[in-house]
Amino acid sequence: MASPEPLDPSLQVWLSALHQLALADGDFDAEERRMLAEHLSETLPESALDWEAMETVDDGELARLLAADPTVAEQFLRTAVVVALADGHLSRSELDLLQHWADLLGCDQAPLAGLKPCIDHLSNDDWQPLEPLKHWLDDLDPSDPRVAGFIVNLIPAQCPFERDIVLFGHKLVHIPPMCKLNPLYDQLVGLRFRCLGHLSEEQQLRICRKDSAQA
């Protein structure tokens, strides 16, 4: 089998930054990082990246490769926001990194203001600031299959089922489905569907098999 061709430097730094962000909140232990790297290598074999040994992206390199074109810079920032939200939780470290990148690339930070409720865990009545962010994410449609494949791998294929925690026949707590807790769930699911459309038939089958195994 022929070795994958090296990536365009802009795409390489793009994917490396998304990977850095996915690990930024520290939720991945060493084994989970290894599994993530293995999974990305299997589903994105053409990326030719060593996911497990990937280092922190250099700010100067990120700015040099992505800041010149405002459209490219904003598309990168949108994909980064999606990666930060994919697990249904946004940490302060992730938001700080998003704001740092927005400043570095000269992007409008107004959409990021809508992310604050995701950290503060506000009640459903306080989600109004997210409306502009929803429209901002709905306009994202990454056509490059490597970026699309990365996003597909991080967004769950389905809303986890609601369930009751029962001990000795008594219900202790009811856990609602995650889609009820994440006000941006519809945006993430819609984006995942759009990203799947940019993958090859072989990649789509690989993703479908993975989704079926996790169902």
Tell me whether residue 1 is in a domain: no
Whether the CB-CB separation of 198 and 148 falls below 8 Å is answered with yes
Tell me whether residue 63 is in a domain: yes
The residue-averaged pLDDT of 74-86 equals 87
Tell me whether residue 103 is in a domain: yes
More confident residue, 79 or 185: 79
Tell me whether residue 167 is in a domain: yes
Q: 130-138 and 185-196 are packed helices; what angle lies between their axes, rounded to 10 degrees? A: 10
Burial of residue 213 (CB within 10 Å: 0-12, 13-18, 19+) is exposed
Tell me whether residue 131 is in a domain: yes
Read off the tokens for 134: 């929803």
Cα distance between residue 87 and residue 32, in whole Å: 14
Question: Nearest-CA neighbor of 147 among 64, 79, 55?
Answer: 79
Whether the CB-CB separation of 190 and 138 falls below 8 Å is answered with yes
Count how many residues are written for the chain. Answer: 215
The residue-averaged pLDDT of 197-207 equals 86
Cα distance between residue 85 and residue 185, in whole Å: 9
Average pLDDT along the chain: 76
User: Over the stretch 6-42, which tens digit does the pLDDT of each residue have?
Assistant: 668 888 888 888 888 888 876 666 766 676 677 677 6
The model's pTM is: 0.71
Number of domains in the chain: 1
Structural domain span for residue 157 = 9-214
The residue-averaged pLDDT of 86-105 equals 87
| pLDDT at position 77 | 92
- Above 80 in pLDDT, residue 202? yes
Rg (CA), the chain: 18
| pLDDT at position 88 | 67
Tell me whether residue 2 is in a domain: no
pLDDT band at 48 (very low <50, low <70, confident <90, very high): low
- Above 90 in pLDDT, residue 73? yes
- Above 80 in pLDDT, residue 74? yes
| pLDDT at position 29 | 63
Sign of torsion over alpha carbons 8, 144, 153, 21: positive
Cα distance between residue 204 and residue 206, in whole Å: 5
Tell me whether residue 147 is in a domain: yes
Whether the CB-CB separation of 21 and 83 falls below 8 Å is answered with yes
User: Over the stretch 127-183, which tens digit does the pLDDT of each residue have?
Assistant: 556 777 888 888 888 888 888 888 888 787 766 544 454 555 555 444 444 555 567
Tell me whether residue 100 is in a domain: yes
